[in-house]
Amino acid sequence: MGYGHAPWIAVAACLLVPAVAQAEQGSADSQPAKPAAESEPAKPAADSQPKPVVESEPAKPAADSEPAKPAADFQPPKPVVESEPAKPAADSQPPKPQAPKTARTAIDSLPGSSTNPGFSLSPEAPPTPPAPGGRAPSFGAPTDKDAWVFRWGGRISAWEQVGIGRPAYDGYPTTSGTILHTPALTVGKGAFWGGPGGTLNFQYGNQTIMAFVNVETSLAGHEWNGYYNSQNGPRIRIAYLAATPAPIGDVRLRFQVGAFPANYGAPGQWGWGIFGPVLSVHGYGGTATANYDIGPRTQLYFEYGLAGVPEVDESFVRGTYADWPENGISTIVNHVHAGISFDNKYFAKLHLSQANGRNVRTWFDGYWGTTPQNVPIWIAGTSGMTPQDGRMQVAALELRWVDDPYGQLGVTPVYWNFDKAVAVHNGIWWGMDWTAGGREMTRKFLGSQSNGTGQIVAVSAEYDFSVSRILRYPESFDGNGRDLRVSLAFMPYWTVASQDPNYDNTKGYYLGATFEYVLSSWFSATFAVYGENKNLAMADVSGQWQRGRAASHSGTVGMALHSDWQSQDRIVLAYSRYFYTTFADNNPARPLDHNVFTLGASVAF
């Protein structure tokens, strides 16, 4: 090689020597870069673009290195006389395979350890510690999906009502001064449930299996503490074990076994609404649920459940050990459900259930008779007959439309069929109001002379919306601001058949509306309207049956203090005005209250 190539060699050396120094520094971590030896040309730097060297192979760029910077102590090399052709740089050889990265050490999985920034997460993300109680990991920390977590929470509430009483009339003795009733003496649905109470919820598990226990008490009066009413004191009402295995393709499964309620067919926005579900099952048993994605926009839903409520022996003198069972009556409930949803906007579900009641009573369904010597004696059995078993069937079609910003509309037509359903107890505990199985449905809608046999049809509907969400559309509104929240509900029903002639082919309705004007993050004004109108038959003092319309309507205005825009913790002061028909307010010795004041609070934790 002649002297004419020396300038090119010097240029190449200027570009390559700093890269060599950087590579050596990456391996030694401490030695500064040295100038290239005079006896051979410098090696090309990684990722640099050197000019081609005559009579030598062009250097291949090394992967993933930054362009080299010139070294501060670089001295240009002296010209090489008739030197050998430049040798290819070591970095020009094909890169050697790198050893696989080792798994993170155990400490890297702890909350608070450093990790690579996630998608759309700033490298300057704050290194905050985890939330107290283990509810969430720290910011950006890796989590273990199989970690076992213990959580607990609950709710404490207390509602006290005072009704302004009215004096007796029609010649009944009365008292002077203002009459106060606590709890208030009213009939019909109101805006509040009276009395103090509380619940504690305990949960332990991971994403696959979870155990849940609920402990609750309602202390509405002295009877809640009585030895002879043990079912009304503090008790474990819910305890179950739930398993959610990993998805099998597009199928997601869930299994639950224990003692728990299950609600179906409620038209409200959050599962209960104003009037509650049309089918609510509880007892000791389990459910199996499957969700299947048949497409990106369509999902199918299937569920089967079995629940049982065993009888309590008639000789158990303390009532029942829980509020589900009943002395001498047991109930088995089978229920199946199927549904479809489209675009997470349109929903349709079919709910079918059958409850079979077994009556083994000997004394409770008996009656007083006399011996041949005219001595009063208790005769076992129902009206002198063998106790009868019963059956209760429910079919409901739940339809729901959800559309932003207009809210949600739910409509659920439902059909009940009763066959001697007085023997069906609390396996089905809610339908149209509180049912306690067929017992309360018989008393309220079929009549005492029906023996629990008849048919009822009803339609439960509810519409829920946010005025601010509608007015701000297409801008989003997350509820943290001034708003008027509205819920409207209506439930007409028809007793299409009953063995009691006073209730056969009768009808009635329930209505409800709630309005909450959220003025600030801590204050709201509330207004609620409730009403019911139904057929009622009762015997007068002469034993003659009287039939009429029993109607009760109420309006409630109040104010609520809360801790945040959407907080459910609140302190409420309210006034209610009740209106009754004469047939509803039918006791002149103890007339119902028209004016009711309520002070209460509810705190969740």
pLDDT tens digit sequence for 367-378: 445 555 555 544
Task: Return the percentage of the chain with pLDDT > 70, whole number.
Answer: 67
Angle at 119 between CA 118 and CA 122, to 5 degrees: 70
Among 287, 272, 277, smallest CA distance to 334 is for 287
The pLDDT of residue 440: 85
List pLDDT tens digits, range 552-579.
999 999 999 999 998 989 999 999 999 9
175 contact partners, CB below 8 Å, separation of at least 6: 167
Among 464, 582, 499, smallest CA distance to 187 is for 582
Q: How far is CA 577 from CA 531, 582, 585, in A?
A: 12, 16, 14
3-state DSSP helix/strand/coil % of the chain, to nearest 5: 10, 45, 45
Q: Indicate whether 498 pLDDT > 60.
A: yes
Measure the CA–CA gap between 451 and 344, rounded to whole angstroms. 44
Q: Mean pLDDT, to the nearest integer, of 295-302?
A: 95
Task: Return the percentage of the chain with pLDDT > 90, whole number.
Answer: 45
Contact criterion met (CB below 8 Å) for 382 and 388: yes
Measure the CA–CA gap between 166 and 172, rounded to whole angstroms. 12
Note the residue count of the chain: 605
The pLDDT of residue 13: 45
3-class secondary structure, 346: strand
Q: Indicate whether 580 pLDDT > 70.
A: yes
Contact criterion met (CB below 8 Å) for 428 and 333: yes
The pLDDT of residue 17: 43
Measure the CA–CA gap between 391 and 358, rounded to whole angstroms. 9
Q: What is the DSSP letter of 439?
A: H
Q: Which two tokens stand for residue 154?
A: 């609950």
- Residue 474, preceding peptide bond in cis (omega within 30° of 0): yes
Contact criterion met (CB below 8 Å) for 462 and 410: yes
33 vs 514 pLDDT, higher one:
514
DSSP 207-229: SSEEEEEEEEEE-SSGGGG-GGG
The pLDDT of residue 434: 80
Instruction: Give the highest mean pLDDT range of 6-15, 55-64, 145-154, 281-290.
Output: 281-290
The pLDDT of residue 232: 61
Structural Rg of the chain based on CA atoms: 39
Contact criterion met (CB below 8 Å) for 390 and 365: no
HSE-CB at 522 with a 13 A cutoff on CA atoms is 1
Q: How far is CA 603 from CA 82, 132, 196, 324, 567, in A?
A: 92, 20, 12, 27, 10
582 vs 412 pLDDT, higher one:
412
HSE-CB at 318 with a 13 A cutoff on CA atoms is 11
Q: Indicate whether 128 pLDDT > 60.
A: no
List pLDDT tens digits, range 333-346.
999 999 999 999 99
Q: Indicate whether 385 pLDDT > 70.
A: no
List pLDDT tens digits, range 305-331.
999 988 888 777 666 666 667 778 889
Q: Which two tokens stand for residue 470?
A: 């509608």
List pLDDT tens digits, range 172-204.
777 777 889 988 999 988 888 777 888 999 999
Q: Mean pLDDT, to the nearest integer, of 382-388?
A: 58
Among 436, 427, 231, smallest CA distance to 316 is for 231
Q: Which two tokens stand for residue 182?
A: 């606590």
Place of tokens 């009656």: 367
Assign 294 a pLDDT band (cuts: 50, 70, 90).
very high
β partners of residue 353: 335, 394
List pLDDT tens digits, range 23-51.
444 444 444 444 444 444 444 444 444 44
Among 27, 31, 39, 25, smallest CA distance to 69 is for 25
β partners of residue 398: 349
The pLDDT of residue 533: 94
138 vs 14 pLDDT, higher one:
138
Q: Which two tokens stand for residue 62?
A: 């090394």
Q: Indicate whether 235 pLDDT > 90.
A: no
Displacement of CA 273 from its chain's centroid (Å): 13
